[in-house]
Homo-oligomer: A and B are copies of this chain.
C-alpha cells in the first residue's frame, strides 16, 4: 500500500481513513461525489500535499477508471448508507451499492489495480440463526435492500479475486460510531431532544439489541488485517472479517446513556413492534473471534462510542443542518 484510492473519501468512515493513512505517510487519492460526504471532513487532508481529491461518481465508470489509475490499493467505502429508507427508492441501493461496486472492480481491472477492501455489513446475515453470528453462518435470507446490495458487492469481489487474481478484504461492519457520524440513532435522538427536551420518539419497542464499533477501532482492525495480508494466504484470495465489539446494547440503554449525558428525562414514545422499520434487524451481534484472533482489540466500549458521537455532535452543530 503506497498510493491508496478511497471511494467515499468525504464520508464518515472514508474521511477518518484518509486522515489515518496520511498520518502513516501514505499517498491518498480520495474520490467522492459529495452526495452525502462533507467537504469539512477533509479539511486537514486537503492541507496535506500527499492527498488528492477527485470529485466524481462511482457510477461514472470512465471517470473512476482514470481516477484509480496509478493507485495500488482501493478502499471502496462509497455507498448508500441510508439503510432505513431503502424501500422508498430501491434503485438507490442497487445503483449506489451493487452497480457502484461492480464499476469499482471494472475500473481496477482496466487500470491493473488488484487489491481491494470493501465495507460490507453484518446485515448480510439477515435475521441470523446463530448469535453471535460467525462469518461462516449458514447461507442467509436477505431482509433489506441495503444488505442485498452489499451481498451483491461481496460476490463480485469474490469472483474478481478468483477470475482476475484480485486480492479482496471484506469487512462486515456492525454500525460504526464516533466523530463525524451523521446518520443513525444518536443524531436522531439528539436532534429530537434539541427540538423538544420533554419527549423522545423511539422506533420499535426499544428492546432491539444492536452492536456498535468505534470508528478508530474499525480503522485499526481493517489496517491490521490488510497489513497482515491474510487474503493472499486464503484459498480464493478473499478474507472476510466481522468487525464489531464483544457486546451489544438495547436501544433503551442507548436512550439512557444519551439522556443522562444531556441531563434530560424525556417521556419515551415507542412506535411499537420489535423492529424499528421493515428490514430492521431486532438483534445484531456478530461473532468477532476471527478478528480478535489477529490480536486486534477494541479501545472503546459501546457506551463510550455513543458518548463520543454525541459529544462530537454537540461541538459540531453545523452538521445538524445538513441533509
- Residues of A bordering B, CB below 8 Å: 86-87, 90-91, 94, 98-99, 102, 105-106, 109, 126-127, 135-145, 147-149, 151-152, 154-156, 158-160, 162-164, 235-236, 238, 278-279
Evaluate contact between B156 and A94: CB separation under 8 angstroms: yes
Evaluate contact between A147 and B139: CB separation under 8 angstroms: no
Which has the most chain B C-beta neighbours within 10 Å: A98, A144, A156?
Answer: A156
Q: How far is the CA of A281 from the CA of B249 in the complex (A)?
A: 43
Chain B residues near A127 (CB-CB < 8 A): 235-236
Evaluate contact between B156 and A236: CB separation under 8 angstroms: no
Evaluate contact between B147 and A155: CB separation under 8 angstroms: yes
Q: How far is the CA of A24 from the CA of B136 in the complex (A)?
A: 43
Contact of A152 among B90, B139, B155 (CB under 8 A): B155
Q: How far is the CA of A237 from the CA of B138 in the complex (A)?
A: 18
- Answer whether A144 and B126 are a contact pair too, CB < 8 Å, given A106-B91, A151-B152: no
Evaluate contact between A163 and B86: CB separation under 8 angstroms: yes
Q: How far is the CA of A237 from the CA of B135 in the complex (A)?
A: 24
Chain B residues near A152 (CB-CB < 8 A): 98, 148, 151-152, 155-156
Evaluate contact between B126 and A158: CB separation under 8 angstroms: yes
The A interface, classified by DSSP as helix, strand, loop or mixed, is: helix
Evaluate contact between B155 and A87: CB separation under 8 angstroms: no
Chain B residues near A160 (CB-CB < 8 A): 90
Evaluate contact between B159 and A279: CB separation under 8 angstroms: yes
Chain B residues near A109 (CB-CB < 8 A): 90
Evaluate contact between B141 and A138: CB separation under 8 angstroms: no
Chain B residues near A136 (CB-CB < 8 A): 138-139
Contact of A148 among B142, B143, B145, B155 (CB under 8 A): B155
What is the CB-to-nearest-CB distance from A156 to chain B, in angstroms, rounded to a whole number? 5
Chain B residues near A236 (CB-CB < 8 A): 126-127, 141, 143
What is the CB-to-nearest-CB distance from A160 to chain B, in angstroms, rounded to a whole number? 8
Chain B residues near A145 (CB-CB < 8 A): 156, 159, 163
For the complex of A and B, the 10 pairs showing the least CB-CB separation, nearest first, are: A152-B152, A148-B155, A142-B158, A136-B138, A148-B159, A142-B155, A151-B155, A145-B159, A87-B163, A143-B162
Q: How far is the CA of A151 from the CA of B102 in the complex (A)?
A: 14
Chain B residues near A156 (CB-CB < 8 A): 94, 142, 145, 148-149, 152
Q: How far is the CA of A234 from the CA of B59 in the complex (A)?
A: 36
Evaluate contact between A159 and B147: CB separation under 8 angstroms: yes
8 example contacts (A-B, Cβ-Cβ < 8 A) are as follows A139-B139, A141-B158, A142-B155, A143-B158, A143-B236, A144-B162, A147-B159, A162-B278
